[in-house]
Amino acid sequence: MVAMPSLPIHCRLAVLALCGLLAATSARADLADATERLAACSACHGEQGEGVRGAEYYPHLAGKPAGYLFEQLQNFRDGRRVNAQMTWLVGSMDDAYMAAIATHYAAMPPRTRPADTGAETLTEAMRQTAVRLVEEGDPARDVPPCTACHGKALTGLEPAIPALVALPADYIIAQLGNWRSGVRHAQPPDCMAEVARDLSPGDIRAIAVWLSRQVAADGAGPAPAGSFLPPRACGAMPHGEAP
């Protein structure tokens, strides 16, 4: 573990609690008959959580960190994220089943190739903006590079930072827009809300369209927990001191 001592104690406890819950659930029972049990999920996210052919909006779930998926299910149930279909489906679901579902999709082979065919053309200007923000950020506006938290390969970081590769552009635009307008929330500190508010709508479009074309190596999943230290405080994730 890199620099764990810089973590506030409550953050470390929260990470441990999350890992404990996930471990307890996966030890208790894998999801038997998962394909049939999760038929409602497959309709939009694909049977293996790989996303659905032709879907230009729904994100893939396969190979994303279990902690991230688990928190999103809770967020839909508890009103921190708003999607009527998702809230409708998980409104009467307890944490244990959510953890089992999250663990199930986290264990699927990660989606690393874009499914998005509907994104607009990436102009040279957009490409330059995107590459600069994704790889270097914008210190003047206090915007960290995406890679600082989501990893050099943009495949995420265990236990709770998701991959950004292979997501549909419209989905990314909607999420950043929802953070800006206060519709989407994460557990505090909600770092993505801060980042999204510091980006302009043009930046968001450029980043989303560029990201939707990125490919990672086949099978590349999230980096192991602690393999690098994100610069910002995000939920219960370990992080370094703010620069």
Partner 1 sequence: MRSRRLAIALLAALPLLLLILTIGGALLLFQGGLEPYRVPRDAGTPIDADTGLLAHGEYVAAIGNCAGCHTVRGGTAFAGGRPFTTPWGTIYSTNLTPDAEAGLGDWSLPEFRHAMRHGVSRDGVLYPAFPYAHFALLDEADIRALFAWLRTLPASDYRPPPNRLEFPAGWRWTQVLWRMLHYRPQNPDFGAEMPAEWRRGRYLVDGLGHCGMCHGRRGAMGSLPASGYLAGGRIADSGWYAPPLDGQQLARYDASELADYLRSGISPHGSAYGPMGEVVYQSLQHLTAEDARAVATFLKSVPPRTPPRPAQGEAAHSFVAGAADLYEKHCAGCHGRDGEGGKDGAWPPLVDAVAVTAPDPVNAVRMILYGGIAPTTPGNPQPYSMPPFVEALDSAQVAALANYIRVRFGGQPPLVTAEMVRARHGIPAH
39-47, 147-155, 159-167, 220-228 -> range binding partner 1 (CB under 8 A): 39-47
Contact with partner 1 (CB under 8 A) among 7, 22, 66, 90: 90
Burial readout 17-48 (b: 16 or more C-beta within 10 A, e: otherwise): ebeebbeebbeeeebeebeeebeebbebbbeb
CB 146 within 8 A of CB 196: no
Tokens read off for 105: 């999709």
CA 225 to chain centre: 15
Interface mask toward partner 1 for 41-80; x: CB under 8 A: xxxx---------------------------------xxx
CB 62 within 8 A of CB 50: yes
27-35, 107-115, 171-179, 223-231 -> range binding partner 1 (CB under 8 A): 27-35
Contact with partner 1 (CB under 8 A) among 9, 27, 36, 218: 36
Tokens read off for 28: 């208790």
Contact with partner 1 (CB under 8 A) among 12, 37, 132, 213: 37
Q: Does 122 bind partner 1 (CB under 8 A)?
A: no
Shortest separation between residue 53's beta carbon and partner 1, angstroms: 12
Nearest to partner 1 of 78, 135 (CB atom): 78
Shortest separation between residue 178's beta carbon and partner 1, angstroms: 15
Q: Does 88 bind partner 1 (CB under 8 A)?
A: yes
Q: Does 187 bind partner 1 (CB under 8 A)?
A: no
- Rounded Cα gap, residues 232 and 163, in angstroms: 17
CB 235 within 8 A of CB 185: no
Contact with partner 1 (CB under 8 A) among 2, 24, 85, 141: 85
Q: Does 183 bind partner 1 (CB under 8 A)?
A: no
Dihedral in degrees, nearest 10, Cα atoms 20, 23, 25, 31: 160
Tokens read off for 147: 């890679």
Q: How many residues form the binding site for partner 1 (CB under 8 A)? A: 28
Place of tokens 């208790």: 28
- Rounded Cα gap, residues 172 and 180, in angstroms: 12
The packing angle between helices 9-28 and 95-106, to 10°, is: 80
Q: Does 92 bind partner 1 (CB under 8 A)?
A: yes
The footprint of partner 1 (CB under 8 A) covers 29, 31-32, 36-44, 78-80, 84-85, 87-94, 96-97, 100
